[in-house]
Amino acid sequence: MNGYLDMDLLRFTTAGSVDDGKSTLIGRLMYDTKSIFEDQLEAIERSSEKRGDETVNLALLTDGLKAEREQGITIDVAYRYFATPKRKFIIADTPGHIQYTRNMVTGASTANLAIILIDARNGIIEQTSRHTFIASMLGIKHIVVCVNKMDLVDFSEEVFNNIKTKYQEFSSTLNLPDIRFIPISALKGDNVVDASKNMDWYKGQTLLQTLETVQIVSDFNFEDARFPVQRVIRPQSAQYPDFRGFAGRVEGGVFRPGDSITVLPSGLTTKISKIYNADVELEEAYSPMSVCITLENNIDISRGDMLVKSDNLPKVDQEIELMVCWMNDKKMNPTGKYLLRHTTNEAKCVVKNVAYKMNINTLEKIVDNFEVEKNDIVKITLKSAKPLFFDAYKKNRGTGSVILVDEFSNETVGAGMIV
């Protein structure tokens, strides 16, 4: 019982191209960890039969919508859950074909780890580098390269080593501190949950062991204290007549009562009086805790302001450079106005410059004659109507990310990472 209460949480995303066994792998992980229930299994058995599939199609487990089951495709990011006594896992399962970039960017934005699947028969293909680039751009620290379908290459160590060497070569220029390689067969279960009996030469961890033990605590930023104010809490009740607390989520660093803080954009300074989680007083607050902070002085603070430690200020500017993934059918207007959401802040902004578009298959920059369409990744400069307080995305995901909203359709059209 206590074991269950003490699990930690790993969010990961899975990337793979069509037919490299991603759905089978997820099905295998969930099946072998007993996370699939009998009624779910019966339901997909019935559906498999109806569709005329020869074996139980584990992919049906992950395809939630009618159109997906009918067409045998995955439309959108789907979230899956399983747990072992050590950890709870959240999988952002993204489709491998159409609109891949946009969906993988979405899935990767909250992930600690990415599984990249490679078909052992095909080795590294264009999509492998695309997936790896997106994972690196989204700041995922841990990559697990699963070389799948090892059963179809006679469990050959040589095949595995060749892929490993090639992957290390091409990924060396990307900012990926932790890459691991595991030879697996998702279909047969080798090295997914249980160690393979067919690959004595592989002495490393199975995929599940890796997922259970990879260290993720240090991936959060505990250096740069940032607290975007989400809401001002003023009960104005008989019991709390003068209470004025600032509610929000810590987006970096550690805050303690007594810390000297600066309020942005006003630049006023004061000290933290108390930190609360509901009625419990805390000694410290760190990412990703949602807390309520009270201050020693009564300063005018509202939503969108940011509390930071006075000895470590973020950048403050109205112009930001960022890498943007375009998410919408409507093309980006290269001089257009958009609404920008950054932390709890919202501002009108205008595109000042579009520097280049990435060819994410070759990693070359396209500088001439291009338009920004759905799934494109571009480097742009935005000018905002008011100053923003931010860090580079590389340093802090929470204060370095933005979304762009179309003012007319209200849709989320772009996802940006501040350079």
Task: Show the tokens assigned to 21.
Answer: 């066994």
Binding to other proteins, residues 207-236 (CB under 8 A):
217, 220, 222, 230-231, 233-235
Show Cβ contacts of residue 396 under 8 Å, excluding neighbours closer than 6 positions: 221, 224, 226, 251, 252
Residue 373, CA distances (Å) to 152, 168, 392, 406 in order: 38, 31, 25, 14
Interacting residues with other proteins between 131 and 150 (CB under 8 A): none
**Stretches 75-83, 118-126, 162-170, 263-271: which one binds other proteins (CB under 8 A)?**
75-83
Q: Which of 327, 347, 349, 388 binds other proteins (CB under 8 A)?
A: 327
Per CB under 8 A, the segment of 112-120, 311-319, 383-391, 408-416 that binds other proteins is 408-416
Helix axes 126-137, 157-171, angle to 10 degrees: 50
Among 313, 350, 392, 403, the residue binding other proteins under the rule CB under 8 A is 403
CA distance to 193, 220, 228, 256, per residue, from 225 (Å): 39, 11, 10, 10
- Give me 61's structure tokens: 């487990």
* The binder of other proteins chosen from 32, 48, 56, 83 (CB under 8 A): 83
Minimum CB distance to other proteins smaller for 67 or for 300: 67
Residue 245's closest CA among 310, 284, 306, 291?
291
Q: Which of residues 161-190 bind other proteins (CB under 8 A)?
A: none
Sign of CA dihedral 301, 306, 310, 313: negative
Q: Is the dihedral of CA 345, 351, 353, 355 positive or negative?
A: positive
7 binds other proteins (CB under 8 A): yes
Farthest CA pair distance, the chain: 75
Angle between helices 100-109 and 126-137 (to 10 degrees): 40
Could you say which of 276, 313, 379, 387 contacts other proteins (CB under 8 A)? 276
- Provide the residue count of the chain: 419
Q: Between residues 9 and 316, which has the closer beta carbon with respect to other proteins?
A: 9
- Within 293-322, which residues bind other proteins (CB under 8 A)? 303
- Other beta carbons within 10 angstroms of residue 282's beta carbon come to 17
C-beta of 16 vs 398, nearer to other proteins: 398
Selected binder of other proteins within 240, 260, 348, 367 (CB under 8 A): 240
Q: Residue 385 interacts with other proteins (CB under 8 A)? A: no
Question: Per CB under 8 A, does 201 bind other proteins?
Answer: no
Stretch of 150-158, 186-194, 288-296, 305-313 lying at the interface with other proteins (CB under 8 A): 288-296
d(CA 164, CA 124): 9
Sign of CA dihedral 171, 176, 178, 183: negative
- Of the candidates 207, 301, 380, 415, which one interacts with other proteins according to CB under 8 A? 415
Per CB under 8 A, contacts with other proteins among 338-367 are: 339, 341-342, 344
351 sits in which H/E element: strand 345-359
Is 233 or 363 the residue whose CB approaches other proteins more closely?
A: 233
Residue 385 is encoded by which pair of tokens?
């109507």
What does the buried/exposed string (b/e) look like for 245-265 if buried means 16 or more CB atoms within 10 Å of the residue's CB?
bbbbbbbbbbbebebebbbbe
Measure the CA–CA gap between 314 and 86, rounded to whole angstroms: 36
Closest approach, Cβ 103 to other proteins, in A, equals 8
Q: Binding to other proteins by residue 289, rule CB under 8 A? A: yes
Contacts to other proteins from residues 21-50, by CB under 8 A = 37-40, 43, 47
**Among residues 45, 84, 87, 299, which is the contact residue for other proteins, using CB under 8 A?**
87
- Cα 27 to chain centroid distance, Å, stands at 21
**Which range of residues in 12-20, 171-179, 273-281, 311-319 is near other proteins by CB under 8 A?**
273-281
Shortest spacing between CB 270 and other proteins, in angstroms: 21
Q: Binding to other proteins by residue 8, rule CB under 8 A?
A: yes
Shortest CB 287 distance to other proteins, Å: 8
Per CB under 8 A, does 264 bind other proteins?
no
Nearest distance from residue 366's CB to other proteins, in Å?
Answer: 24
